[in-house]
A and B are shown apart, each in its own frame.
Chain A
Amino acid sequence: MKRYPILLLFLLLPSLMLFGSNKAQDIMEQVLKVQQSQSSALDLKLTLIEPSGTTRERRIQTLSQTKDTRVSSVTVFLSPENVRNTRFLSIEEEDGSTSQWIYLPALKRIRRIGTSEEGGSFMGSDFSYADMASTSYDAHEAEHTLLSEDEKTYIILSIPYKPTTYGKHITTVDKATYLPLLVEFYDLDQKTLLKTLKTEQIASIGGRMMASDVRMTTIASGHSTRLEILQARFDMNLPAGYFTTKFLETGRL
């Protein structure tokens, strides 16, 4: 059985928040703000790239919405063929816990699955479940420091107060759009660079500027994953029926 992800609002940000009054925190708050939405629909393509250049592709579509600060998301796996029509539902409960179910077409049944704070590789990609998870984190999770700035960018160091997977992030932020251009993920020792997330393209999608094409590279292996946003819509009214086990089981509202 496969372990499936806590998906997804919008990804690409280091999962660190950003409250306070200093400049770095203000910048990171703005970074988050430009990508926040009450609801979203994303059509994503992941291309897994071996160091040899061999590639594999995964397609997913995901819907998410935030109501009363609680996030619900549903994800449909479109390809490859052997996972097509697998559907995943994640609902944040009132007490802060998360309930997750998966529908596997081969088994024709819904299974409740355990939750994970961090998770391993998402669909074999260089993104972890945590990398792909919601960015709606609580306040005071990290300390942000402005390392340097030039005409076009800020470079910000973020150190989480309770580090789990990463010890620090260094984010290069585009001054014009407040989108991250490069994120470096360091190990818990804060010295070893584990992964880099590089924005390859910024485009207007769904009425807003987005990092529409990014590449996550694992330094040790040289393996990388290109993530493209093929389509996106934001702040639309999503029927509640999407976030139910009925949709999970039938694919219908």
Chain B
Amino acid sequence: MKHVLILALSLFLLKGLFAFDFFFEEEMDKRTISFQSETSLTLYKDAEIEPQATFTFALEQEKPLYRIIGKFTYDGQKQQISTKELSLSLFIGSVQLKGGIFTHPWGSATLMHCVDILNAQDLRKGILDDLEAMKQPEAMISLSVYTESSTLDLLLKPGFSPSYLQKEGRYALLPAQFATVTLQEMDTNTLQNIGGGARYTIRHRWLDVGVLYFNGYNPQAGFENIEFDPITFAPISADLMYTRYQLFGIQSSMTKGPWNLALEGGFFLSEDREGTDLGRYNSKWTYLAELSYTDEKTNAFYALAYQGHYILAFPSSPFAVDMMASYEGKPYANSLAMAIEVPLYREKVTLRLGGTYQIESKGYVLLGGGSYAISDDIELFTKGTLYGSASNMDSLYKNWKDNDSLTIGLKAWF
């Protein structure tokens, strides 16, 4: 109901029809309303067939001083409306002030990120080939100050949205020992959980480089007050808790001809500096390098990325969250990712292939797909996902190995 009211309010605000482009002497107001529908059938490895139908409507109101964006998706299967974005931006000289519910990306790479931490991940549909689609929009305020060759980005989050913790179902995330545990969730969207940060980016010829800082909460839950069954000693209840941390990071992107090298890295300084609180995540280093190449003749895009992290004061208790999230008790984790995208037949057909390999667990996910533009507004698409592991070590990829799937669907824009 809340979403319906928000939508009705947005529609009320967005009245009038204007135009805006370079060719008017003065900037004019503009309103754009667009719709996108996506219907698909997914066949899983266990023979389950899952139909899906989503309908996205976006409203954009432009005036010289402000922009309002409302973007909502209706899921026909779940009969739910979700807000993808509801924001108001003010433009004053070289300053943009934006507030509302939205996603705000940091980082310079394409396939993976290690400093893109402002929005929690949404893994309820598994691992997708679209990083932005795996983010949860959150309430925040951003202030961007632009100069000719630099941008200062200030962010304030009045609270935070934790990562969805699927306890059961196809894409369950919880460790096996917590699958039947009663979890007490906390309200994280309060001013007590305020977070904020800044990023300063400069551009010089072939190089973009940015330094960033954030002080807020890790959206991944930890556990405290764990109660055990006195007979089986299995955990039966726990309170969810979250770790406040500071991130000191960098991002950069440099080009040479058709090549692009993106680097990201950072130090997450946990509030549990000594690493003594089992329920909180410890401090860690993270690092990422991505090399991509765009073929001049075909416009095909190729990318290879490496990402890793190293946790400090790594705990030995099996109930420490860092231990639970690790691969066989190692304080480090390293992953490789690759992606290829090839447009064919004058961009009527696009083929995509991507994959991630987690080195310690030998777990992997392969994503393949293609799309065919029937017309400018209708696209037929198919995609396949393959999870697996070359070892018996527990990992998300191994746990989801029965979620291999093949999807075929249709997208339409209006």
A residues near B (Cβ < 8 Å) are 1-3, 41, 43, 48, 56-57, 61, 63, 79-82, 84, 93, 95, 97, 99-100, 106-109, 111-121, 123-125, 223, 231, 233, 244-246, 249-250, 252
Q: Report the bound CA distance from A114 to B302 in whole Å.
A: 12
Report A185 CB to chain B, min CB distance, Å.
Answer: 15
CB contacts (< 8 Å) of B253 on chain A: these are 111-112
* A124 near B347: Cβ-Cβ < 8 Å: yes
The answer to whether the Cβ of B228 comes within 8 Å of any Cβ in the partner chain is no
Q: Report the bound CA distance from A223 to B295 in whole Å.
A: 22
* A124 near B343: Cβ-Cβ < 8 Å: yes
The answer to whether the Cβ of B148 comes within 8 Å of any Cβ in the partner chain is yes
Task: Report the 5 A-B pairs with minimum CB-CB distance, sorted nearest first.
Answer: A124-B347, A246-B146, A124-B346, A81-B413, A3-B299
Nearest neighbor of A41 in chain B, beta-carbon distance = B22
A82-B413, A245-B151 are contacts. A114–B255 as well, Cβ < 8 Å? Answer: yes
* B296 near A244: Cβ-Cβ < 8 Å: no
* A114 near B376: Cβ-Cβ < 8 Å: no
Residue from A107, A114, A233 with most neighbouring chain B CB atoms (10 Å) = A114
Q: Report the bound CA distance from A234 to B21 in whole Å.
A: 16
CB contacts (< 8 Å) of B36 on chain A: these are 81
* B348 near A114: Cβ-Cβ < 8 Å: no
Residue from A56, A61, A112 with most neighbouring chain B CB atoms (10 Å) = A112
Chain B 34-70 per-residue mask, 1 if CB under 8 angstroms from chain A, else 0: 1010000000000000000000000000000000000
Report B268 CB to chain A, min CB distance, Å.
Answer: 22
Q: Report the bound CA distance from A108 to B144 in whole Å.
A: 14
Nearest neighbor of B350 in chain A, beta-carbon distance = A2
CB contacts (< 8 Å) of A43 on chain B: these are 21-23
Q: Report the bound CA distance from A101 to B414 in whole Å.
A: 28
* A123 near B205: Cβ-Cβ < 8 Å: no
* B96 near A250: Cβ-Cβ < 8 Å: yes
- Residue in contact with A223 in the complex, picked from B257, B297, B346, CB distance below 8 Å: B346
Q: Report the bound CA distance from A111 to B131 in whole Å.
A: 15
CB contacts (< 8 Å) of A245 on chain B: these are 146, 151, 203
The answer to whether the Cβ of B301 comes within 8 Å of any Cβ in the partner chain is yes
* A2 near B343: Cβ-Cβ < 8 Å: yes
* B301 near A81: Cβ-Cβ < 8 Å: no
Q: Report the bound CA distance from A250 to B377 in whole Å.
A: 25
* B21 near A80: Cβ-Cβ < 8 Å: no
Residue from A84, A99, A123 with most neighbouring chain B CB atoms (10 Å) = A99
* A115 near B347: Cβ-Cβ < 8 Å: no
In the complex, number of A-B residue pairs with CB atoms less than 8 Å apart: 131
Q: Report the bound CA distance from A159 to B203 in whole Å.
A: 39
CB contacts (< 8 Å) of A57 on chain B: these are 376
* B23 near A233: Cβ-Cβ < 8 Å: yes
Residue from B104, B257, B258, B296 with most neighbouring chain A CB atoms (10 Å) = B296
* B105 near A108: Cβ-Cβ < 8 Å: yes
Other contacts beyond A41-B22, A117-B296, A123-B347: 5, CB < 8 A: A43-B21, A43-B23, A61-B22, A249-B146, A250-B89
- Residue in contact with A112 in the complex, picked from B208, B257, B414, CB distance below 8 Å: B208
The answer to whether the Cβ of B94 comes within 8 Å of any Cβ in the partner chain is yes
Chain B interfacial residues counted at CB < 8 A: 55
A114-B258, A117-B296, A119-B296 are contacts. A246–B151 as well, Cβ < 8 Å? Answer: yes
Nearest neighbor of B104 in chain A, beta-carbon distance = A108
Provide 20 A-B residue pairs closer than 8 Å at the C-beta atoms, listed in order of the A residue: A1-B110, A3-B301, A41-B23, A43-B23, A63-B22, A80-B413, A82-B379, A82-B413, A84-B32, A84-B34, A97-B205, A112-B253, A115-B257, A118-B296, A118-B297, A120-B296, A120-B297, A121-B347, A244-B146, A252-B96
Q: Report the bound CA distance from A108 to B107 in whole Å.
A: 11
Nearest neighbor of B379 in chain A, beta-carbon distance = A82
- Which positions 173-215 of chain B face chain A at CB distance < 8 Å? 203, 205-206, 208
Report A205 CB to chain B, min CB distance, Å.
Answer: 11
Report B204 CB to chain A, min CB distance, Å.
Answer: 9
Residue from B96, B103, B130, B146 with most neighbouring chain A CB atoms (10 Å) = B146
* A115 near B258: Cβ-Cβ < 8 Å: yes
Report B386 CB to chain A, min CB distance, Å.
Answer: 22
Nearest neighbor of B132 in chain A, beta-carbon distance = A107
The answer to whether the Cβ of B382 comes within 8 Å of any Cβ in the partner chain is no
Q: Report the bound CA distance from A123 to B295 in whole Å.
A: 15
Report A215 CB to chain B, min CB distance, Å.
Answer: 15
The answer to whether the Cβ of B326 comes within 8 Å of any Cβ in the partner chain is no
The answer to whether the Cβ of B18 comes within 8 Å of any Cβ in the partner chain is no
The answer to whether the Cβ of B256 comes within 8 Å of any Cβ in the partner chain is yes
The answer to whether the Cβ of B83 comes within 8 Å of any Cβ in the partner chain is no
* B346 near A3: Cβ-Cβ < 8 Å: no
* B206 near A99: Cβ-Cβ < 8 Å: yes
Nearest neighbor of A242 in chain B, beta-carbon distance = B22
Q: Report the bound CA distance from A207 to B240 in whole Å.
A: 69
- Residue in contact with B205 in the complex, picked from A81, A93, A121, A125, CB distance below 8 Å: A93
Q: Report the bound CA distance from A43 to B131 in whole Å.
A: 33
Q: Report the bound CA distance from A246 to B94 in whole Å.
A: 8
CB contacts (< 8 Å) of A114 on chain B: these are 255-260, 293-294
